[in-house]
Amino acid sequence: MAGAVTLLLGVLVASVCAEDMRQVPLKSVTALSAVGTVNSALLDRCNGETFTGIDVFGTKILDVVASPVQNYSTTYMDQTYAGLNFCNVTVTYTHPGRDDEVHVFATLPLTGWNGRFQGRGGGGFITGVDAAVLAPVTAQGFAAASTDGGHALYDQSAESWALNSPGNINWNLLEDYAYKSLGDMTLIGQQLTTQFFSKSPKYSYWTGCSTGGRQGLVFAQRYPDLYDGILALAPAINLEGFVVAEYYPQHVMNRMGHYPLPCELNAIADAAIKACDSIDGVEDGVISLPSICKFDPETLVGKEFDCDGEKGKFSKEGAVVAKAFWQGPASPADPEKWYWYGVNRGTPFNGMAGTTCANASASSCSGSPFVVSEEYLRLFQQKDPAFVTTNMTDDEYFSMFHRSAQEYGSMLSTSDPDLSLFKAHGGKMITWHGLADELIPVNGSSKYYQQVMDLDKDVADYYRYFEAPGVYHCFGGPGPRPEEDETLAALMAWVENGTVPETLAARSQTGDGAVRELCLYPQTLVYVGGEPEKSESWGCR
């Protein structure tokens, strides 16, 4: 499913010379720092014996392995990096008495270190990334680090670690995933950087989307002095609530016993876009003002849609699924009792409301839920690997919202609006969230930002939130998306030069050349006249 399988955001930024970082315009530098003549002294230092005395309270270092990697090539986020040279470090440690084994992965450039450290986040149940993903970050001159959180790296399933036994949560590994390993990783990564270069990093940055965005908020709330700048993109705020809500369209289909064809759901999404596309004054396949789009899917029932040449008719069941997807979970017994946000019209159905079919008949279809939501209900709510989510009653499903908040809110939610310690540290944070996000309802982000604003009217001095029309989860979609290098460069300029990002640059993902300057919330992007592809044809209102 687009945007749902890969939940990791690659943020690559231009390098800045460490000797004179303040004098170079951050957006204009494009050289790859990790490419070039290897520093022989650093090459000699790239071994486990260099990294002695790593000390993080509450941990015991078990092993440090380091080896040089030279002339490395990789392709990441459709960009190829060749001739990279870095020291690849893996630290293995445990929390005595907790029976865990956690790994920190770090890549330290063997040439052209820019004097900065960057921590990297994960996605879904994946806590972080290894050298294969960190290498392109190091190519830009950063010392970079991430962690597996004590779990199998890149295993999107939590089956292997969620439970000690049926009925019993593995609280130690859940806490590692939630926040504990993140603080450890950062402190270890910064110490590795200092020991390798004989110099502490001048600035530290965090980059992540989805789970990585939630992790960014973990740092702002729990570890406010570890990072100078945080990119918390499409963040999984209120994980304990929205991940239950993610399953709602599937629950509705299970209760009806009907699973619409994917092409019917796609046709409903297209109809909503067609109905609301021009609200902003431009027909470009993007609903820029989804909050005022009130398209009713019931108006389609009985009409024909085309399914790759096969004609079908919109069903009542398809309209019910669409409403559930857009409105969010509400109890049939008490429709006024609403549990969490839905998604905006025009959002792809395949994230939460996916179906899989054997042929062109809806009778051959079954639900295809997002793995994180299905496993969360089965493993963390029912604590039973054999629990069958398709058989849940309404009472069973809706009771999970309260139980989830009770059991996991303090550990997973990252919804504390008090960022006063992060502000006092001088930290800066940027969040953007796609208005067509198919996995994490964007209104959860706007709600959180509003709560921070309610607590601190000067929030924009250190935290800025932007919404991206037509952008899916982390990437994808018809709308212009903030580019990785420009977004991190904007954060760096804010942290290091005091240049405030009044807007956030976004560029076409479809090749049409469209450019937008996204607006600081609560402003919205509206068409003001002129050529729609040009940024000056749009304004903030």
Q: Which residues are catalytic?
A: 210, 437, 473
DSSP codes joined into one string, 204-270: EEEEEETHHHHHHHHHHHH-TTS-SEEEEES--TTHHHHHHHTTHHHHHHHHHT----HHHHHHHHH
In one-letter notation, the amino acid at residue 253 is M
Cβ atoms 373, 390 nearer than 8 A: no
Distance, in Å, from the CA atom of 305 to the CA atom of 52, rounded to the nearest integer, reads 66
Cβ atoms 181, 92 nearer than 8 A: no
Distance, in Å, from the CA atom of 509 to the CA atom of 513, rounded to the nearest integer, reads 8
Distance, in Å, from the CA atom of 478 to the CA atom of 503, rounded to the nearest integer, reads 20
Q: Could you say which DSSP state residue 180 is in?
A: I
Rg of the chain in Å (alpha carbons): 24
Distance, in Å, from the CA atom of 382 to the CA atom of 400, rounded to the nearest integer, reads 9
CA angle, 357 then 264 then 241, to 5°: 80
In 374-514, at which residue ranges do the beta strands (DSSP E only) sit? 428-434, 463-468, 503-507
Exposure class string for 309-319: b at 16+ Cβ within 10 A, else e: eeebebbebbb
Cβ atoms 377, 329 nearer than 8 A: no
